[in-house]
Amino acid sequence: MTATEPEAEVRELTYLGAFNEALFQLMREDEDIFIAGEDVGLTGGVFGSFAGLIDEFGERRCVDTPISEQAIVGLGIGAAVSGLRPIVDLMFMDFILVAMDQIANQAAKLKYMFGGNATLPLTITTNGGAGVSAAAQHSQSLEAMLCHVPGLKVVMPSSPADLKGLLVACVREDNPTILVKNKRMFGKRGPVPEALYEIPLGVGNVVREGTDVTVVAYGRMVPESEKAAERLAEEGVSCEIVDPRTVQPLDTDLLVASARKTNRVVVVHEAVRFGGLGAEIAAQIQEEAFDYLDAPVARIAAPFSPIPFSPGLERHYVPNAKRISEGILETLGRPVPGA
């Protein structure tokens, strides 16, 4: 099952609500699924992602662990190779760095190193993104590091409905996946089908059709790009927004098709510009669509510094609709207001 059943009931849910609903439905469906991580049991997760699960599924399936990221991921790996389907939570994306050996050296490579003789249905969930004054160790977008490691799949949902469908795909996937929620989207509401459904990994989505320029964005940069596109539409600029949804594997075909159609591409991400996904996407587009491009592929991203604490600084750090609009206008060779 990949598509939403048309007759299924669709309600408004928050981003976190969609995540939470998917967990309830998945855990009812499959006894092999459990959740483990810091405060995911009794507290329901520090952000409420896991609220209520322990009441229905008990301590056996909702495991409060020590603050031990390496052991949390290791727990997931060992349980996954033993036939379970673990969901382990790392509270902040920054904390994946604590667990990186288990993620990158163990989980990602086990199957290959063992000559194919291992299946690792492990889902790691975490929370990334800046903009809440969480400062340099609780705000990062580190997806490029993860995408660089063969064996992992990395998912960055941009809406409640995508979050639910992609989480389901991650949990049902027989490979290690990392699903990154964005902290500033927790309360964002959107239509979500009630039934359990799956959005396949590696398949992007044209969020908005347009003709003048392609904006490639994922995670919270999708709604931010939509805002920019709305403003620019008033000035007669038609933006196509393409959300790859999973950044590893990347839906290159979709991005390239859009680039060939609009002939101009702007890539937007929250992560720092240098060595970010934008570089990879720009490279792939020039490899596949060089003759179609009327301008260099532009990148709108965070500057190369740790993330500042003060709102006065942080608001200049994270890309927003204004910066995205400016980048689009520059790529179109049109005057940028105030520039």
Partner 1 sequence: MEPTVDILKDLHYRMLRIRLFEEAAGRLFEGNKMPGFLHLYVGQEAVAAGVCVAMRDDDQVSSTHRGHGHLVAKGGDLNKMMAELMGKADGYCNGKGGSMHICDLDLNMLGANGIVGGGTPIAVGAGFANKYKGNDTVSVAFFGDGSTNIGAFHEAINMAAALRLPVLFVCENNEYGEYTRRDKVMAINDVVDRAAGYGIPGVIVDGMDAVAVYEAAVEGLARARRGEGPTFIEAKTYRYYNHHGVQTLGMKYRTDEEVDAWKAKDCIEGFERRVTEAGLISADELAAVRVELEAEVEAAVEFGENSPLPEVSTLLTDVYTEVSR
Residues at the interface with partner 1 (CB under 8 A): 34, 36, 60, 63, 65-66, 68-84, 86, 101-102, 105-106, 110-120, 150-151, 153, 172-175, 201
Q: Based on CB atoms, which residue is closest to partner 1, 75 or 307?
A: 75
> Is 138 a known active-site residue?
yes
What is the b/e burial string over 85-96, where b = at least 16 CB atoms within 10 angstroms of the residue's CB? Answer: bbbbbbbbbbbb
Report, in Å, the least distance between residue 126 CB and partner 1: 17
Q: Which is nearer to partner 1, 46 or 63 (CB)?
A: 63
For the range 102-106, what are the long-range contacts, defined as Cβ-Cβ under 8 Å and sequence gap of 24 or more? 102/70, 102/73, 102/74, 102/77, 103/73, 103/146, 103/149, 103/152, 103/176, 103/178, 104/146, 104/149, 104/152, 106/73, 106/74, 106/77
Active-site annotation holder among 138, 148, 269, 316: 138
Q: How far is the CB of 256 from partner 1 (least distance, A)?
A: 21
Q: Which of 216, 231, 256 has its CA nearest to residue 325?
A: 231
Ordered DSSP codes for 33-46 = EEEEETT-STT--T
Nearer to partner 1, 113 or 283 (CB): 113
Least distance in angstroms from the C-beta of 134 to partner 1: 24
β-strands 85-90, 123-128: how paired?
Answer: parallel
- Encoded tokens for 152: 């992992």
Q: How far is the CB of 180 from partner 1 (least distance, A)?
A: 19
DSSP 236: T
Q: Tell me, rounded to whole angstroms, the distance of Cα 16 from its chain centroid.
A: 14
Name the residue nearer to partner 1 (CB basis): 79 or 301. 79
Catalytic positions are 138
